[in-house]
Structure 1
Amino acid sequence: MKTRQRDRGVPDPDAPWNEITTGLWMGGHHWTDALGDGHAAVVGTEFGLVISLFSRPGHGPDPRVEHLLAEMPDRPLTAGQIHTVQQLARTAAQAVRAGRTVLVRCHSGYNRSGLVVAQALIELGWETTTAVETIRKKRSPMALNNRIFEEYLTTGLDVAQLLSSLDTPA
């Protein structure tokens, strides 16, 4: 399954990961420094829980770190994939409430991770628009540039999941 759409004209992130709110981080698998040099974003033991929506060998986390992997595409999601996003967001929110540090990551740390982090913030009581604005301020203005994902959040994932299930052949 292809999980990454190539070259949307979006610049690489300028950090491997960013803290969106206390204990909740968002990132990717690569980043570019101020000199324009590319780097792998390799996770060690910096976080208590890592949620990966894209994976690449050698990018961690350390085997002692709890790691949830649910690869999914950066395009319209199935009802089942939206359900997985909801579960991962609940798990992230519960971990943050318990005082754990959580990293949610995808390829660049913009869309898939943004969807899960925004939903986790909503689970923590944030308004949708505030969650999206905060992610764009703290991670990058390029975050959630997949408008479909932003529409899922605006509509609500329960409704988005229901609507996606209507497109599924019987």
Structure 2
Amino acid sequence: MQQTRGQGAPGADSPWNEIVPNLWMGGHFYQDAAGRLPAIVDGEFDVVVSLHHQDGYGPAPHVEHHYARIPDGPLAPDEIAEVSRLAAVTAAAVTAERRVLVRCHFGYNRSGLVVAQALITMGHDTDDAISLIRRRRSEWALHNHLFVAYLGNGLTR
């Protein structure tokens, strides 16, 4: 399976970024001038959607947490269904004005796929959702061209 995580992409310069009100996108790691740092979540968010697991990286026990193991590469039909489900959970929580973080390893591709689909569910068109994510998180967000194609073709089709 082809993985795109880290292929030439620098680490994000913050643990997470707000994409639209109440919706943040991030990773388990970010990077500052001194090097790679852990992005540990405590109770800052009402809902956390994790697409990568790292012991000790939160969230706090009282936080609603959704986890799915999703590769940063081609997705099987059940994985596409899980991405769609998590995007629906994310969109519903944001619409209910809950603070939501969607995160993966670096906060670029898998989290970008879920966040973009959530934005599409909330009424954004595909190109606008992708552009917004790249402006707010990083120009490296959604550099997995396969994920961009999934979004363009519609995850639920």
Report the TM-score when normalising by structure 2: 0.96
Tell me the secondary structure at the aligned position of residue 10 of structure 2: coil
User: For each residue in 1:26-71, what CA deviation from the matched residue of structure 2 results, as whole angstroms up to 9, or x when unmatched?
Assistant: 00000011x2422100000000000000010010001110100001
Deviation digits for residues 58-108 of structure 1, max 9, x if unmatched? 100011101000011000000110001111001100001111000000000
Aligned residues: 157
The answer (yes or no) to whether the contact 1:3–1:72 under 8 Å persists in 2 is: no
User: Which consecutive unaligned segments of at least 5 residues does structure 2 have?
Assistant: none
Runs of 4+ in 1 over 6 A off after TM superposition: none
Q: Which residue of 1 aligns with 2:43?
A: 45
Q: 1:93 aligns with which of 91, 94, 100?
A: 91
Provide the residue aligned with 1:17 in structure 2.
16
Match of 2:112 in 1: 114
Q: Structure 2: how far apart are the matches of 1:120 and 1:6?
A: 21
* Distance of 1:4 and 1:41 partners within structure 2: 22
Cα gap change, 1:4 to 1:28, in 2 (>3 Å): farther
Q: Which residue of 2 aligns with 1:123?
A: 121
Query: Hey, what's the Cα distance between the residues in 2 that align with 1:15 and 1:74?
Result: 20
Alpha-carbon offset, residue 120 of structure 1: 0.2
TM-aligned CA distance change 1:130 to 1:100, over 3 Å: same
Change over 3 Å in CA distance of 1:39–1:3 after alignment to 2: farther
Distance 2:80 2:114 in 1: 10
Alignment CA distance shift 1:6-1:128 (3 Å): closer
**Structure 1: which 5+ residue stretches go unaligned?**
160-170
Counterpart in the other structure of 1:32: 31
Amino acid at match of 1:146: N
Cross-structure match for 1:162? none
Q: Distance in 2 between matches of 1:99 and 1:17?
A: 18
Once the two structures are aligned, what percentage of the paired residues are identical?
A: 50
Which structure is larger by alpha-carbon Rg, 1 or 2?
1
Per-residue displacement from partner, 1:120-160 (whole Å, max 9, x unpaired)? 0001000100000000000000000000000000111122x
